[in-house]
Amino acid sequence: MSQLLEDKLMTYSPYFVHGQHRSSRWLITCDHATNTIPSDIGSGTLGLCKGDLKRHISYDIGAFGVALKLGKELKAPVLSTNFSRLIIDPNRGPQDPTLVMKLSDGTIIPSNKTVSKLEIENRKTRFYWPYDQQLAQLCTRQNIVIISVHSFTRQLRGQKPRPWDIGILHTSDERIARPLIKLLSDSTKFRIGDNEPYSGHLPGDAIDRHATRLGRPNALLEIRNDLIETQKCQREMATILAPFFEEALRASKI
């Protein structure tokens, strides 16, 4: 390994914490914040073209900007990844077969197609576990409420357009999600999905491990990514949503 590459790897961090000393009950996470791929992982591209690296398969477009602004509005720390979900998905359980995706929305991920168990363990050590451990540390504050910020594409290849603007995902713990869905449905123009476009329960995922199993109130926010493509749209969306999160927390009486 060259000294230059070694130096780059030594200064690289797989996650960032923003506003660590903010003191509200909220904790904001962004599991798929960037499309960063270090140069020693699949030559820095995983064998994909630049166009694919900019697609939703590589990261949650716009989610990071929303999470940052939401953190400021809610006076909450924000934990974000600094690696592409295609390296390894921190929102999956450590034994999940989709932890390292080989095919995503019709696109084969060349460097993942024949990835070895040893390489998966290497990625867990370098990316997955450091992020997971930092999340666990941030969760040690008392009475926290976790909001995980994501985005989704309006239309997957070969499928019908999704009708929702925003999805609120949840498990059987609906203490935050249920009032939030009602408030957003009643008071905004957005089409709100209740556990759409995905189910909010995936055994072993980040919310399951750090919130649901431990009785911590939580919800997962999914925003259609064409609504938050620009920094301006991201800030505006977070500014609109923040008061509804606060009102939902008051309504939950937790």
| Tens digit of each residue's pLDDT (9 = 90 or more) over 81-134 | 999 999 999 999 999 999 999 999 999 999 999 999 999 999 999 999 999 999
The per-residue pLDDT for 7 is 46
Determine contact, residues 175/217, Cβ cutoff 8 Å: yes
Cα–Cα distance for residue pair 62/209, rounded to 1 Å = 25
Determine contact, residues 242/73, Cβ cutoff 8 Å: yes
Contacts of 21 (CB under 8 A, 6+ apart): 77
Cα–Cα distance for residue pair 142/26, rounded to 1 Å = 10
The per-residue pLDDT for 159 is 86
Q: Is the pTM of this model over 0.75?
A: yes
The per-residue pLDDT for 203 is 84
Low-confidence ranges of the chain (pLDDT < 70): 1-10
The per-residue pLDDT for 208 is 93
